Amino acid sequence: MPAPISTEQRNQDREVLLDAAEPLFYERGIRAVGMDEIRSAAGLPLKRIYSVFATKEDIVVAMLRRRDRRWRAGLAAYVERFDDPRARVSAVFDWLGRWFAEPGFRGCAWINAHGELGSSSPAVLDEIRAHKQAFHDQIAEWVRATGSPAVEPVFLLAEGAVVTAGVTGDTAPAEEARAAARHLIG
Count of domains observed in the chain: 2
Q: How far apart are CA 174 and CA 168, in angstroms?
A: 12
Confidence of residue 2 (pLDDT cuts 50, 70, 90): low
Q: Is the pLDDT of residue 119 over 90?
A: no
Q: How far apart are CA 129 and CA 68, in angstroms?
A: 11
CATH code (residue 46): 1.10.10
Determine the structural domain holding residue 74 and report its residue range: 56-185
Per residue, the 3-state secondary structure of 81-118, as one string, reads CCCCHHHHHHHHHHHHHHHHCCCCCCCCHHHHHHHHHH
Residue 80: how many CB atoms within 10 A of its CB? 11
Taking the model in full, what pTM does it have? 0.93
CATH code (residue 92): 1.10.357.10
pLDDT tens digits for range 36-90: 999 999 999 999 999 999 999 999 999 999 999 999 999 999 999 999 999 999 9
